[in-house]
Structure 1
């Protein structure tokens, strides 16, 4: 996966995560302020591009819609390729949002497996635990 596509995928994953957290009334959690800045920056960049604005609205309105994720990822990557400064800003905002999520001890990692976004959080096990 090329760097622009990877950054776009990570950006979309954070948009989806924010939409899901917002629906769960968790938008005020530490670390999401960086994600909110990411969404607002994308929204500002997309202003005037009806298709891109609709794609962002679809993802924030229906975060489980995989088709919407793919469309937003494609449009975000296209905007990033057209404007290197926008690309650098998106990369910086993604890095800041991911770093902020890890400050409370729980590191969240976004990975793209085929077309599915997967979030893996830290797992802690206490007590006796046997596996076979």
Structure 2
């Protein structure tokens, strides 16, 4: 199993912890989760960033943002250490075997996505598991002063916009505004809200293929995905075709990075970026869009929502 897939499966166990898992799945499997947690703790020891990421994920195990961050760090450790990867693989296999057809955690009273669709076509995906509907982190408690911008952006969604771009320099609150929008729009996208951190300001931004794989694995955690980006794109779009999902593409680098990730019209996208770009085939609602030379790089309030043809 590749490091990204293995990390995506292991991270929820590690974030939830042995005690919580024991209550929903029994002491025997809880002990196995404890062994997995200890292996990760031992591996992260001495790496302050990794230790902090783990602590934050375990403090709020239901936070998808923190779990995603844990997945990324864990995937790096798995890739760098084959012995560690082998140990985690063994423990995950034992946990999956022990769980059988049950879900990993007690999900009574929670919305489960279903019925599932065959997203694979002629690509062999395993039967989809039942998964909790993913949600974005809540906006910061001290998030204030953006009422007018938020009202305008939500009005664009009411008029049929499916893509919103939040443009501006770092630290001005683009992501917090996106979280606030997502919170207001939660009822419109019952199949989930998915955060994809595109790392646009890092030396190595996330590739479109890795981003698509990340989204697919949220709904199909153990899927064996193709290496071909074209095949992966077909699975990605097929998966989202009959779902209503809100994607947050955070810290995007470029048009080339974002365009392959634009989902079917049943879904919506919020893009945050420090760079000005304009996806092809988008009809802008009014002036000042994030097109080349089209708006000021100042604050999220200068961003605009866009309507795609046919919406």
TM-score scaled to structure 2, two decimals? 0.32
CA distance in 2, matches of 1:4, 1:43: 17
1:33 is aligned, of 18, 27, 31, to: 31
- Residue aligning to 1:51: 49
CA distance in 1, matches of 2:218, 2:97: 22
1:64 is aligned, of 62, 65, 68, to: 62
- Residue aligning to 2:156: none
Flag structure 2 segments of 5+ consecutive residues without an equivalent.
104-128, 132-212, 222-311
* Equivalent residue runs for 1:1-132 within 5 Å: 3-18=2-17, 21=20, 26=23, 29-102=27-100, 106-108=101-103, 109=129, 114=215, 116=218
Task: Tell me the SS of whatever aligns to 1:26.
Answer: helix
Decide whether the 8 Å contact of 1:32 with 1:97 is kept in 2. no
Decide whether the 8 Å contact of 1:20 with 1:63 is kept in 2. no
Decide whether the 8 Å contact of 2:12 with 2:61 is kept in 1. no
TM-score scaled to structure 1, two decimals? 0.70
Of structures 1 and 2, the larger Rg is shown by 2
Task: Tell me the SS of whatever aligns to 1:86.
Answer: helix
- Residue aligning to 1:125: none
Residues 48-87 of structure 1 deviation map (CA, whole Å, 9 limit, x = unaligned) = 0011111111111101111111111010010111111111
CA distance in 2, matches of 1:69, 1:6: 14
Decide whether the 8 Å contact of 2:44 with 2:51 is kept in 1. yes
Task: Tell me the SS of whatever aligns to 2:102.
Answer: coil
Higher relative CO (Cα under 8 Å, sequence separation at least 6) belongs to 1
Task: Tell me the SS of whatever aligns to 2:28.
Answer: coil
RMSD (Å) for aligned C-alpha atoms: 3.0
Q: CA deviation at 1:7?
A: 0.3
Identify if the C-alpha distance between structure 1 residues 49 and 13 changes in structure 2 by more than 3 Å, giving closer, same or farther. same
Considering fraction of residues, name the structure with more helix.
1
Which deviates further from its counterpart, 12-21 or 63-72? 12-21
Task: Tell me the SS of whatever aligns to 1:80.
Answer: helix
Task: Figure out how many residues of one structure are paired with residues of the other and give that number.
Answer: 113
Flag structure 1 segments of 5+ consecutive residues without an equivalent.
120-132
Q: CA deviation at 1:30?
A: 3.4
